[in-house]
Structure 1
């Protein structure tokens, strides 16, 4: 999936129909025969696996920022979970996010919040991106890895495989809730980090951009809403730096650390 931003934007005719299809598919959750508590449970479980473990822990804190290290097998598992969030392949996601940090809230930022809430939330995704050719330059540590290449190339097919598994396990209700509703929910929760946490909340640090700490986004995305903290200390595995800034992903990293599965954990020096 192409990620977008352009001075003369042209609609991306891959992303746009795909997003429309997913949103329409999620509406089938309103059909009474598609509802079951088991299906809702599957959606919530996959929300945590794909959005919490996959995107937040794997794509973001582990791979994009290398704020801690894990055995390679665990890295691949977490990145696979991120692939199931259907937010593009891992190489594209990581490269785009690294560009965002380098050019945060400037014209070169793929989702520059100065262009408005809608643009930074999802508008940037439905236009062609002039930054796409730069992704290999920002992902030299993973771009030649065959596992990353496989997941980048086949992430859509992997989603179809998940849908087939859910269909076999629980019928169409599992597919509607576990694929369509869950993907749309994780999409908008993730996108709020680009939009809401550059507009709402408080600022503890001067980070050179418009990033904010927003508690309700932190609740939705497992601690990612402490975004001003993150932009001030991009290398830190912990984003919630005060006792009241609850960071579930940091708690997960602490658990992995206790199990010997997370090493070289980097933390912010709040005095700097």
Structure 2
């Protein structure tokens, strides 16, 4: 039981920082926060993603490219140019690494206005950091997996690659399966009515139509579970939501 709890907690904490901090804050700046909370959530993102830590800078640039070039040949991760999610994400990884390591210069419109912490970002991308987190996950499983439940070790690859797995689900499913509320001149879809799996990220069609709307649900029955958390943080004064712009 403790292993399943650990897996679920890791899944949803990693998911939360990806949608709250990397996506809605770093890429879109749907809300503001003071320097203390920006650093706090930057570090929290590193801890929650662990071995699959994603740079807020590189994430923001790639995501802005995704919106500008949605489902075209220049989209960093459109599923309509790949035979499977693995090849799509491998190409995304290559583009991400080029941006992360400054091997390419992004267009000016995609650059800037994202949180930066060069020391932590550099450390989080080192093998020392990624392998250390991987060893922590393995050690936890060794301590708590019963001998007759060896198959639980099959969950470890999900821990190692939690961030990219979330990205693969959203980028593949969110542009292939589901329904559309809006004609966005792309193939974005809403895959779930209640997006419990990816914290609202699978309302892709809504998000591509209204990219600055903090609540990804539009219809009354579309539930974005991350939005109430953001609303609460706003009421507590930790963040300040902006008015949505079309």
TM over 0.5: yes
1:123 to 76, 87, 90: 87
Aligned residue in 1 for 2:57: 91
5+ residue gaps in structure 2?
146-151
1:253 maps onto 2:230 in alignment: yes
Is contact 1:197-1:217 (8 Å) kept?
no
Aligned residue in 1 for 2:211: 234
2:9 to 45, 52, 56: 45
Change (3 A) 1:117 1:215: farther
Distance 1:73 1:167 in 2: 33
1:225-249 Cα distance to aligned partner (Å, 9 max, x none):
1111100011111101122111111
- Give, in angstroms, the shift of residue 260 of structure 1: 1.3
Is contact 2:178-2:191 (8 Å) kept?
yes
- Give, in angstroms, the shift of residue 185 of structure 1: 5.3
Normalising by structure 2, we get a TM-score of 0.78
Change (3 A) 1:253 1:60: same
- Give, in angstroms, the shift of residue 75 of structure 1: 2.4
Is contact 2:193-2:222 (8 Å) kept?
no
- Give, in angstroms, the shift of residue 266 of structure 1: 3.1
1:150 maps onto 2:150 in alignment: no
Normalising by structure 1, we get a TM-score of 0.71
For the aligned residue pairs, the C-alpha RMSD in angstroms reads 3.0
Tell me the secondary structure at the aligned position of residue 216 of structure 2: coil
1:122-180 Cα distance to aligned partner (Å, 9 max, x none):
3133244497313484332247x3x1x22331224444444565667674558958864
Is contact 2:60-2:114 (8 Å) kept?
no
1:220 maps onto 2:190 in alignment: no
Tell me the secondary structure at the aligned position of residue 189 of structure 1: helix
5+ residue gaps in structure 1?
1-36
Aligned residue in 2 for 1:134: 105
Is contact 1:207-1:232 (8 Å) kept?
yes
Change (3 A) 1:255 1:65: same
Aligned residue in 1 for 2:36: 73
Change (3 A) 1:81 1:136: farther
State the number of aligned residues. Answer: 227
